[in-house]
């Protein structure tokens, strides 16, 4: 019996060691997770699960996915202890065969992640999503990673590169805050570095985009030291998941398309590895559209009040102003001037008594995730998913419940939509026969109420004035996004007539957002 256990342990050790020394690709499609220890096996690789502290739930295979039909779920509940909490998968080494890393060598770890819409406590202390540790020196105790990808308060991402004697001695860290991420949105990420512990020839960078974007944006720290001079030039651990300080609150995270490579192209997320109604990428030009079924028989319609139904209508009740704001879209009805939403942020049948069937409606603002939308394209069709929930708009056959959210299903034609510019009879897919909807002959509705909110001058040189008709709420904020949706500036709104300095910013188009209590105002501004 003892020999059998030893042989089994040796085989597991051999499997983990050999698989982790090679490139890694975990996509969840044919994966299995062993409940006894959390190890995951997928695409011929077995990865070790590391857990620490209390409150961790063994990872599971989930239908929340970046591509294909499956992903990986992780959950850490509020702690009742005092030590850190960890739920991570080890992509390389982890106390087994520690691979060498040479001066000037580059490593890349790629993955997609989504913060759960409902179970994600704001990080109030340090919180690591990906980290790489160098091997320890003789007698070394603590071992700080020389590369880590962190998430901070407000869900702002942060790069941290370390240098020094070893992971415990003579430490120096450089940080770079990059973007603020939204809950319920898939992000594709590659964390890369060039190992250079003795000179400033190294770098650390993050390539990131949303699922709906085609191109990655690079954020990096160049000409820096990366790694430790006196520690062995080997990698002890390269991990992905959640590692946080002992804090209350629960954090649920979804992972998919996990990769490790020595090249950037090998770690980037490829096209979807399986059919999915929420797959693909397509940027919709700001403009006024009908949202109709592929056959052209019915359109999403708001006939009166805040009701949403389906009708073959050419009136303003079926016309929608689609506007890109950062990484998501708002959809505003021309009849009532309100935004398409899922009332009471319902996601599942009978979850919210006020909206048991997860119907759609409209509301005066778009300040919450159940009023903000991902729009993705597959073939000629589009799919609409609110940020708060991993379901899509579906045409229900029930006349009393004509439009609702439903689980995304490949082949479910009730979830396919076409976008028709209001000045054309052709769909958005017929690009050669459509006038640019941004110059529609129909008057474009204002995206803000100028009696309540005003900004000037626009275009602007160095400073813009923001004026509202009431005293700002205690937590009122001003947010400024660039044209790819990255948050680049935030300030408290402290006055009903406040100036925002823009000097130092490059010329171009920006989105100004003011959140004051339950009211959210947005306006495109041009920096000269």
pLDDT along the chain (528 residues), means of 10: 38 36 67 92 85 91 86 88 88 73 92 94 95 93 95 95 95 93 93 95 92 84 94 92 92 92 78 34 76 88 88 91 85 94 90 88 88 83 88 75 76 85 52 27 33 74 82 82 75 86 86 78 81
Q: Exposed/middle/buried for 222, CB within 10 Å: 0-12, 13-18, 19+? A: exposed
Separation in Å, CA 476 to CA 450, 456, 494: 18, 19, 7
pLDDT at 9: 39
d(CA 465, CA 477): 14
pLDDT of residue 262: 84
Q: What is the pTM of this model?
A: 0.51
Do 23-267 and 453-527 have matching folds? Answer: no
| Beta strand extents in 437-507 (DSSP E only) | 453-456, 463-468, 477-481, 487-492, 497-501
Domain boundaries of the chain, sorted by first residue: 23-267, 287-434, 453-527
Output the pLDDT for position 507.
86
Token pair in block for residue 46: 């077995």
CB atoms within 10 A of CB 23: 17
Sign of CA dihedral 44, 267, 210, 516: positive
pLDDT for 438 equals 27
Residue 137, classified by CB atoms within 10 Å of its CB into exposed (0-12), middle (13-18) or buried (19+), is middle
CATH code for 23-267? 2.60.120.200
Give the position of tokens 């708009």.
Answer: 393
Radius of gyration of the chain (CA): 25
- Integer Cα distance of 5 and 443 in angstroms: 76
What token pair was written down for 252?
């649920």
Distance (Å, whole) CA 332 – CA 288: 9
Class of domain 287-434: mainly beta
Query: Distance between CA atoms of 288 and 323, rounded to whole angstroms?
Result: 9
Q: Is 319 helix (H, G, I), strand (E, B) or coil?
A: coil
Instruction: Extract the tokens encoding 415.
Output: 């979830």
Domain 453-527: give its CATH code.
2.60.40.1220
| Dist. CA 470–CA 473, nearest whole Å | 9
């Amino acid at each position: 019996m003892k020999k059998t256990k030893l042989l089994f342990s040796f085989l597991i050790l051999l499997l983990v060691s050999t698989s982790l020394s090679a490139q890694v690709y975990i996509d969840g499609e044919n994966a299995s997770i062993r409940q006894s220890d959390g190890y995951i096996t997928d695409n011929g690789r077995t990865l070790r699960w590391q857990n620490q502290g209390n409150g961790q739930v063994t990872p599971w295979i989930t239908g929340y996915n970046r591509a294909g039909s499956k992903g990986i779920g992780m959950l850490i509940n509020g702690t009742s202890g005092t030590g850190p909490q960890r739920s991570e998968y080890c992509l390389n080494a982890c106390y087994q065969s520690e691979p060498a890393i040479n001066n000037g060598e580059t490593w890349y770890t790629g993955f997609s992640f989504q913060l759960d819409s409902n179970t994600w406590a704001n990080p109030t202390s340090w919180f690591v999503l990906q980290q790489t540790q160098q091997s320890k020196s003789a007698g070394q105790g603590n071992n700080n990673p020389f590369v880590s990808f962190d998430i901070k308060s407000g869900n702002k991402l942060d790069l941290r590169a370390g240098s020094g004697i070893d992971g415990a001695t003579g430490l120096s860290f450089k940080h770079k805050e990059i973007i603020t991420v939204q809950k319920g949105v898939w992000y594709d990420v590659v964390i890369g570095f060039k190992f250079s512990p003795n000179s400033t020839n190294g770098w650390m960078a993050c390539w990131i985009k949303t699922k709906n974007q085609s191109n990655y944006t690079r954020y990096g720290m160049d000409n820096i030291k990366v790694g430790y001079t006196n520690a062995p030039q080997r990698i002890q651990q390269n991990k992905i998941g959640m590692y946080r300080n002992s804090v209350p609150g629960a954090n649920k995270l979804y992972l998919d398309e996990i990769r490790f490579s020595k090249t950037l192209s090998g770690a980037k997320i490829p096209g979807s590895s399986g059919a999915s109604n929420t797959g693909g990428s397509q940027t919709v030009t700001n403009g006024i559209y009908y949202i109709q079924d592929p056959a052209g028989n019915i359109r999403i319609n708001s006939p009166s009040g805040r009701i949403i139904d389906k009708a073959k209508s050419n009136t303003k009740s079926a016309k929608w102003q689609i506007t890109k704001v950062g990484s998501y879209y708002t959809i505003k009805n021309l009849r009532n001037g309100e935004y398409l939403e899922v009332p009471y942020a319902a996601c599942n049948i009978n979850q919210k008594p006020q909206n048991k069937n997860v119907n759609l409606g409209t509301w005066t603002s778009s300040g919450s995730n159940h009023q903000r939308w991902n729009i993705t394209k597959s073939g000629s069709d589009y799919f609409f998913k609110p940020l708060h929930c991993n379901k899509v708009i579906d045409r229900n056959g029930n006349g009393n419940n004509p439009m609702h959210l439903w689980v995304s299903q490949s082949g479910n034609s009730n979830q396919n939509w076409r976008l028709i510019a209001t000045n054309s009879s052709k769909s958005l897919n017929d690009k050669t026969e459509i006038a640019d909807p941004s110059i529609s002959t129909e008057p474009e509705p204002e995206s803000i109420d100028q009696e309540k909110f005003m900004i000037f001058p626009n275009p602007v040189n160095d400073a813009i004035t923001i004026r509202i008709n009431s005293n700002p709420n205690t937590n009122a904020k001003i947010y400024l996004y660039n044209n790819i949706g990255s948050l680049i500036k935030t300030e408290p709104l402290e006055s009903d007539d406040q100036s925002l300095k823009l000097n130092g910013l490059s010329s171009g188009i920006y989105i100004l957002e003011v959140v004051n209590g339950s009211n959210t105002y947005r306006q495109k501004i041009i920096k000269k």
